[in-house]
Amino acid sequence: MQRIILDTNVLVSSLIQRNFPYLIINKLFIDDKIILCISDELISEYYEVLQREKFARYPDFIKAAEALLATVEAKALKFYPQTEVSLINDQADNRLLELAEESKANYLITGNSNDFTMEKYKETSIVTPKEYWEDYQPK
């Protein structure tokens, strides 16, 4: 089964619009067609970002975010990265690469093309939600 990492921006998008991030979460992760890889640092970032006041303007965002985070904690596979990576200026993004290396994830899915300029990090392909959904999702 594919192992994937979701950048926080993908999680946020899945709660706001019914587009590719929503489909990845609700048609693949929730239905056990992929394995979501997380670390303590990533789940902390998920919580911190999803609780930002700016998202309260979206109807039912907080309730949906809490439900999604509970599902992530219950179903995702947790890893404890041992390697420190410093390829990207934003340290939070480097943590995703550290997790990719530790988990041997197949895909790191991100909407952040400014920081993630490489197509691959070791064994992990770095793709947008649209690319993943259209070209790489399990059939």
HSE, CB side, 13 Å, CA atoms: give it for residue 13: 19
- Give the Cα separation of 47 and 11 in Å (integer): 11
Q: What is the per-residue burial (b if ≥16 Cβ within 10 Å, else e) of 6-42?
A: bbbebbbbbbeeeebbbbbbeebbeeeebbbbbbebb
What pLDDT digit, counting tens, does each position of 77-128 carry? 999 999 999 999 888 899 999 999 999 999 999 999 888 999 999 999 999 9
What pLDDT digit, counting tens, does each position of 49-78 carry? 999 989 888 878 989 999 999 999 999 999
pTM of the model: 0.95
Domains and CATH numbers, the chain: 3-136 (3.40.50.1010)
